[in-house]
Chain A
């Protein structure tokens, strides 16, 4: 049985971002999961090359949520019912420019929504560079997934 993974709000948000021409990458463990890593995460991290508040506000509105540009210690964020798993990412440790990473990202179909995803090998680079204990703990599992992926030459990800 086909099971949807996104909430209706998450799907509406991604569709709106695509329709509005907002470029983003799924990064972090969400990307690693899509690439086949057997891990877990609580969030879907979206890395935006450019924070265009007007279009992010409109995308959030179409998804029934909100966009806040951030103030004080609150970073820019998307929120509202069904969007609580989405995190706005402004920079990713250890990676090249958004443009470079976007160019080499992989295309996936997520519940019928086309998305671009940071390749697993680049997720590993970012986890190493972050130097956080929780990232370091995930690296052996991510490297095993990368080895499995290479062994299978599992490059058809649609």
Chain B
């Protein structure tokens, strides 16, 4: 659920603060994109935007649910 309350970002590390601010920006972008499509879930758009920040191999790796059955360094 969205909230207008600002997080206490002063107590976060630089890395955590960057993540929070970037995440919030992505949520804003996701809501803007979803608002142009009837019934679209901003959460789905947010996770897609996150995926687009990964390399194609990383995206596939996250989504392939069956584990490798053999070492991949041959």
Partner of B41, one of A7, A29, A144: A144
B33 touches A4 (CB 8 A): no
Q: Tell me whether A145 and B44 are in contact (CB under 8 A).
A: yes
Nearest residue (CB) in B for A85 is B66
The one of B29, B36, B51 that contacts A38, using a Cβ cutoff of 8 Å? B51
Quick one: which of B34, B57, B63 contacts A40, CB cutoff 8 A? B63
Q: Is the C-beta of B1 less than 8 angstroms from some C-beta in chain A?
A: no
- CB-CB under 8 A for A147 and B58, given A42-B66, A140-B44: no
Known: A81-B69, A84-B69, A144-B40. A149 touches B56 (CB 8 A): no
* B71 near A145: Cβ-Cβ < 8 Å: no
Interface size on B, residues (CB 8 A): 35
Nearest chain A CB to B22's CB is how many angstroms away? Answer: 14
Judge whether B5 is part of the interface by a CB distance below 8 angstroms: no
Report the minimum CB–CB distance from A19 to chain B (whole Å): 16
Which of chain B's residues has its CB closest to A157's CB?
A: B56
Q: Which of A33, A40, A42, A148 contacts B45 (CB 8 A)?
A: A148
Please, how many angstroms separate the alpha-carbon atoms of A18 and B29 in the complex? Answer: 39
Query: B48 contacts A40, CB within 8 Å?
Result: no
A141-B52 contact given A29-B63, A34-B60, A44-B64, CB 8 Å threshold: no
Taking CB atoms, residues of chain A closer than 8 Å to B62 are: 33, 38
A54 in the interface, Cβ–Cβ < 8 Å? no
Contacts of B51 on A, CB cut-off 8 Å? 36-38, 145
Interchain residue pairs with CB less than 8 A apart (5): A6-B72, A38-B51, A84-B66, A108-B56, A143-B37
- Report the 5 A-B pairs with minimum CB-CB distance, sorted nearest first: A8-B74, A144-B44, A38-B47, A148-B48, A145-B48
